[in-house]
Amino acid sequence: RQAAAAPDSRYKFKELAWGNDETHHIADGYDADMLLRWGDPITTDAPEFDVMNQTAAAQLKQFGYNNDYVGFWPLNDEGTRGVLCVNHEYTNEEVMFPGLGRQDNQDFAGMTPELIDIEMAAHGGTVVEIARGEDGKWALVRDSRLNRRITPLDTEMTFSGPAAGHDRMKTNADPDGMTVIGTVNNCAGGMTPWGTYLMAEENFHGYFWTDVLDAEGKPDLSAHLDAASLKRYGVPGLWYAWGRFHDRWNIDKEPNEPNRWGWIVEVDPMDPTATPVKHTALGRFRHEGAETTVSPDGRLVVYSGDDNRFDYLYKYVSTGTLSDDRAANSALLSDGTLYVARFDEDGSITWMPLVHGTGPLTAANGFVSQADVLIDTRLAADALGATPMDRPEDVQPRGDGTAYVMLTNNTRRKADQVNAANPRAESSFGHIIEIKEAGGDHAATSGTWSILVKCGDPSVAEVGAQWNPETSENGWFGSPDNCAFDADGRLWISTDQGGSWGKTGKSDGLYALETEGALRGHSQLFFRCPVGGELCGPYFTNNGETLFLAVQHPGTDGTKDLKGFERESVFEDPATRWPDFDPAMPPRPSVVVVTRKGGGKIAV
Ligand code: FEO
Ligand code: CA
Ligand code: CA
Ligand code: CA
């Protein structure tokens, strides 16, 4: 397979050949260097990583697991120093801990309280200062006062907005419903225009436990007051054993605790003592991300997908407008209107407000106040008739009123459930929707939509893919997940095929996807992951010269197809030991920093 020469594209690089092997690959002319790996010490007093003797105390001062969202905020005009904000979405016991297989199908027999504390300390986020040296290479500034970990083990947070302090937010540990320890399953996120870091809480349901099971061994919610809500959110998911040792993760003991998760968290990376805030006005669902933009009249707009099969696309519009006052700007996340999208067959989109007292959102239907509407955002959106989507992942707005929505896949959609915006049954590879808001205004309540690409192999007719015909065998992809614009407004897509990468044979990677002109819908491969890795990030610095990528769970997803693992420990015999290739080290999720050889913008 020869790498094809790029056609007359706005992206000036020669595309990479597709494949799947034990290391990463980048297009010619670029460097892809490791910046931060799981276990790297991030403070001066942090111990060096010792994977065979890991402790929670050490992990609290080391880079966490499964890096996902990456954001950057420059600290000088040259853009050579800045603060890097990284989410740590989840943990994989089978590759973190020696001798342990996948725990969820083994009754969590190996999970001790000590290992669970390490898992909790490896979740959350990392905020660190980084700087670019004379040689053009980025490195951690280990003695920066800004460096901190945010975890569900020890980081106290507060709530803002209509659900803060509500009775349904109160627990034994927090009788005021105003304080929660930490955040989990932070997938994608966003940076606000004033330089704060938004962490989206995605699959929070997986962390909850119950000992009350039915005859089939499934959670029995019949005695629960909130059973309809729990069921709609998939709580408890029983993915982790935390609830065996911590009451707050056990819904039998703390029935309100799930209501305190599934929000957008705001962190001030400039103040290491600042208490993060869960902003309830942005709704509660499995937030994939929280990308922001500003309307022409100065209101903050935040787009967020609910990553679940047949769930919805949302956006939030602040009541007030942006100013130079950072504290006042944060208050924009407490007072505004949350909307859910209806995609009509004629190519129009309507944003329907989730406001208590309007339409069906009344006490008669179980919504006593705006707090109920927000805690049960999914139920409220059901009542409004929102359009069920093929798993909305990242949504990237551009300042001109355009937004791109990644719909990753939905193999459970039946032929009689397709609609114009989700046109394929049993969609294994997903698609991307382009939204044009009315008047180029992201705060508009209507607009139009179209499908930019339908993903998958265009040479296989039954896949039903739709690409620009110039797209090569290297350029097409499946399961779009995260995306970003570069400094010149060009779109880049990263993929997460999960265990189903076997359907394409391709590794996950980063693709440049043209949105304009004759090459609209043309895709080129720029970077690919080592086997089993999912690609997260991506994030371009404002000057366009640096691109941050996050390789998540290398050596896991799909290795069961490749080497017959599934319930075995991947730790002892992984499909790759990327990025260290040290026989004493398992593969490590890592942030990769991409620069152009000789300097300059990435794609010019
Ligand atoms: Fe965590 Fe929706 O990917
Ligand atoms: Ca994701
Ligand atoms: Ca993004
Ligand atoms: Ca995903």
Per-residue pLDDT tens for 541-598? 999 999 999 999 998 855 444 444 444 567 888 889 999 999 999 999 999 999 999 9
Q: Is 291 in the pocket of ligand 1 (CB under 6 A)?
A: no
> In 408-455, which ranges are E strands?
431-437, 446-454
Rounded to the nearest whole angstrom, what is the distance from the C-alpha of residue 41 to the centroid of ligand 2?
25
From the alpha carbon of 286, which atom of ligand 1 is closest? 2
For residue 288, which ligand has an atom nearest its CA?
Answer: 1
At residue 498, the pLDDT reads: 86
Query: Residue 233 carries which side chain, given as an amino acid letter?
Result: Y
- Sorted by sequence, the CB contacts under 8 Å of residue 149 that are 6+ apart come out as 42, 60, 61, 62, 64, 121, 124, 125, 126, 127, 155
Please tell me the distance from the alpha carbon of residue 125 to that of residue 201, in angstroms, as a whole number: 11
Query: Residue 245 carries which side chain, given as an amino acid letter?
Result: F
Looking at ligand 1, which residue's alpha carbon is closest to its atom 1? 187
Q: Is 534 in the pocket of ligand 1 (CB under 6 A)?
A: no
Band of residue 107 on the pLDDT scale cut at 50, 70, 90: confident
Please tell me the distance from the alpha carbon of residue 550 to that of residue 424, in angstroms, as a whole number: 30
Band of residue 4 on the pLDDT scale cut at 50, 70, 90: low
Band of residue 106 on the pLDDT scale cut at 50, 70, 90: low
Please tell me the distance from the alpha carbon of residue 262 to that of residue 285, in angstroms, as a whole number: 5
Rounded to the nearest whole angstrom, what is the distance from the C-alpha of residue 173 to the centroid of ligand 1?
30
Please tell me the distance from the alpha carbon of residue 604 to that of residue 465, in angstroms, as a whole number: 29
- By 3-state DSSP, what share of the chain in percent is helix, strand and coil, each rounded to 5? 15, 30, 55
Q: Is the pLDDT of residue 134 over 80?
A: yes
Average per-residue pLDDT for the chain: 95
ipTM rounded to 2 decimals: 0.96
- Sorted by sequence, the CB contacts under 8 Å of residue 460 that are 6+ apart come out as none
From the alpha carbon of 68, which atom of ligand 1 is closest? 1
**Of the listed ranges 145-159, 435-449, 480-494, 500-514, the one predicted with least confidence:** 500-514
> In 75-136, which ranges are E strands?
81-88, 124-132
Residues 28-43: tens digit of each pLDDT: 999 999 999 999 999 9
Residues 341-397: tens digit of each pLDDT: 999 999 999 999 999 999 999 999 999 999 999 999 999 999 999 999 999 999 999
Q: Is 306 in the pocket of ligand 1 (CB under 6 A)?
A: no
For residue 430, which ligand has an atom nearest its CA?
Answer: 4
| Three-state SS annotation for 263-311 | CEEEECCCCCCCCCEEEHHHCCCCECCCEEEECCCCEEEEEEEECCEEE
For residue 550, which ligand has an atom nearest its CA?
Answer: 2
With H, G, I as helix, E, B as strand and everything else as coil, classify residue 501.
helix
Query: Residue 556 carries which side chain, given as an amino acid letter?
Result: T
Q: Which 8-state DSSP code applies to residue 491?
A: E
For residue 394, which ligand has an atom nearest its CA?
Answer: 3
Rounded to the nearest whole angstrom, what is the distance from the C-alpha of residue 93 to the centroid of ligand 4?
19
Residues 213-251: tens digit of each pLDDT: 999 989 999 999 899 999 999 999 999 999 999 999 999
DSSP string, 128-164: EEEEE-TTS-EEE-TT-TT-EEE-TTT-EEEEESTTT
Mean local confidence (pLDDT), 10-38: 96
Q: Measuring CA to CA, which residue among 399, 393, 164, 440 is closest to residue 290?
A: 393
Mean local confidence (pLDDT), 165-186: 98
Could you tell me what percent of the chain has a pLDDT over 90?
90
At residue 1, the pLDDT reads: 45
Mean local confidence (pLDDT), 298-318: 98
Residue with tokens 């076997």: 502
Residues 42-63: tens digit of each pLDDT: 999 999 999 999 999 999 999 9
From the alpha carbon of 202, which atom of ligand 1 is closest? 1
Q: Is 557 in the pocket of ligand 1 (CB under 6 A)?
A: no
Please tell me the distance from the alpha carbon of residue 79 to that of residue 547, in angstroms, as a whole number: 13
Q: Find the length of the chain.
A: 604
73 neighbors 541 (Cβ within 8 angstroms): no
CA angle, 294 then 296 then 297, to 5°:
95
From the alpha carbon of 496, which atom of ligand 1 is closest? 3
From the alpha carbon of 391, which atom of ligand 1 is closest? 2
The residues that bridge with 149 in the sheet, in sequence order, are 126
Please tell me the distance from the alpha carbon of residue 588 to that of residue 67, in angstroms, as a whole number: 10
Band of residue 438 on the pLDDT scale cut at 50, 70, 90: very high
Q: Measuring CA to CA, which residue among 69, 73, 72 is closest to residue 86?
A: 69
Q: Is 394 in the pocket of ligand 1 (CB under 6 A)?
A: no
480 neighbors 521 (Cβ within 8 angstroms): no
At residue 515, the pLDDT reads: 97
At residue 568, the pLDDT reads: 57
Q: Which 8-state DSSP code applies to residue 213?
A: B
